[in-house]
Amino acid sequence: MRQINMDDLVQRVMDELSKKTQEVIHFPEQKVRGVDNPNNAEALERAMNRTPARIGIGRTGTRMKTTSYLQFRIDQAAAHDAVMKAISPEWLARLQLPELHSRATSMQEYLMNLDSGRMLSDESAKWLEQHGDKGKDVQIVISDGLSTSACEATIPDLLPALQQGLAMRNISVGKPIFINKGRVWIQDQVAKIVGCKVVISLIGERPGLATAESLSAYMIYKPDANTVESDRTVISNIHRGGTLPIEAGAYLAELLEEILKYQASGVKYMQLRAKNG
């Protein structure tokens, strides 16, 4: 008996459904329970509402149901696109963000050589030296990281809220920059070039199958050659299903004010904060 490829089988099912309905098949954003006649439907509903994990999807024989499998492939494709697609020039122009580059010349190099994303290209470093705002309290760095989708979905709401929050606190801010294929550590070089007190990186997180639009914020006070990871303060899971971008912007402004007050970030900031009540 000839073995049927699962992808081919799914495509055949989709073709048949399309012929019958003559319309595009849409999938609901909210999770749908796939278990028929569960022993405790209320407990299952509560569990499904508490986590984005794929639970309660049901099965047909030894396989997941077709709808669940197709949703899995849709989310898998979204995660792949989030990593591989390039940022839109129109998006950068709309937000008036100058585009700088790391030393990674391709996505393959960025993924395989971590150091390539931790330093600016020579041309970008020179541009920042000539055009960057110097000596500010805060420098904002935006980077696609591992999810362009995260930047496109969250930054338009987060950035204005963050800038407004900092302005209300009389905190000086350098013009935000976008770094293509940048990693977290690239913020150390940026801080050294512009001479800011605190640098905050808003960077796309590695996408999962629950969401491909999650952003993280990494903050560090005056990084130097002795900086270690525990010196960074991190806020993650900024997206419409986690911390909302607008709320994150307001909170990050408050947090940056405290980092400037204590002149420390990361573990040292938490220790000083606890000591001072």
Q: Binding site for adenosylcob(III)alamin: what residues are annotated?
A: 184, 205
Rounded CA-CA distance 252/154 in Å is 14
Q: Report angle CA 239, 227, 158 to the nearest 5 degrees.
A: 20
Neighbours of 157 (CB within 10 A): 17
Query: Can you say which residues are annotated as belonging to the binding site?
Result: 184, 205
Which residues have C-beta within 8 Å of that of residue 275, sequence separation ≥ 6?
Answer: none
Neighbours of 248 (CB within 10 A): 24
